[in-house]
Amino acid sequence: MTSEPVRIALGPKHSDLLRQAITGSGATLSDLDRARALVWDGGPAGFPRRLPAGIEWVQLFSAGVEEWFETDVFDAHPDVVFTSAAGAFARSVAEHALALLLAGVRHLPEHIRASSWRQTEFFPRIGTLRGATVAVVGAGGIGRELIELLAPLGARVIAVNRSGRAIDHPTVLETIPAERLSEVWPRTDHVVVAAPATAATRQLIGKDELSQLRPHSWVINIARGRLIDTDALVDALRDGTIGGAGLDVTDPEPLPDGHPLWDLPNAIVTPHDSNPPQLRTVAFAERVADNVARFVAGRELNARIDLAAGY
């Protein structure tokens, strides 16, 4: 006697890559009414108002799901398991975070803007990550990848996560729970923000936090713009309270023309492209394949959304 195939629906788009990820992992593509799960490669707009009763699991495309919490999708489907793509894009984003940090510490923005040979002027301000302490605020998938990338450079890490559960890595000096984050600022040389966007993390870094950092400190944000108070950051950059900021995300976003961050010599702004489409699509297909295989086998799914925590 053969078992019933595990039927999974795909929407709103139907790329060949995602089709192959589903069928190659032991499931069968199906229309939504007959499916047990849905792989959704879009945003909240257009998501089915009501899912059929047979849907047990929904895989979402995004790693950050704050936009979904602004809808009633989760409330409308209390018995459905939702998973995000958290961690699927970690390597690409971690590489970008490291690039921003290195560029700042080595003062590359000023070098790039220079139009004459000014070697001795730069010497006193050029730093290194060797022996430096980097606070990774949000030591989840991206944070852990970044810790691996920092290790060969000789940096030390203070890892911050929600639980405070120790991260076993020779580079990590200490793992601190989020509730003790205030202890981190005076102890670190640089900060990388990789925490999820929730009500609790809004403007996680403001005037008081920036004032406790050092004149050579770089703040890197590859999470969401609203985790940093933009006005306070601009003031800290202008006043030399910190060394600089590398931002792949901003508040507001897109960052409007004429905003001070565009002109400050110690600010690097990239247009939220740490996870470009050509890399994101492949990484999402890999996550889909893994989670579909887990679903078919009845195993725990990756990146199950914690509705109470907000991510």
The set of catalytic residues is: 224, 253, 272
| 242 burial via Cβ count (<10 Å: 0-12, 13-18, 19+) | buried
Six-digit token string for 51: 């899912």
Give the span between the Cα atoms of 243 and 77, in whole angstroms: 47
**Residue linked to tokens 């005076």:** 186
Helices (H), the chain: 16-23, 66-69, 73-76, 90-105, 108-113, 119-122, 141-150, 207-211, 230-239, 260-263, 277-297
**Residue linked to tokens 């894009």:** 89
Query: Do 299 and 29 contact (CB within 8 A), yes or no?
Result: no
Q: Tell me which DSSP letter residue 3 carries.
A: P
Query: Do 127 and 106 contact (CB within 8 A), yes or no?
Result: yes
Q: How far, in whole angstroms, is CA 35 from its chain's centroid?
A: 31
At a CB cut-off of 8 Å and minimum separation 6, what does 156 contact? 131, 132, 133, 134, 171, 172, 173
Among 131, 120, 132, 188, residue whose Cα is nearest residue 160: 188
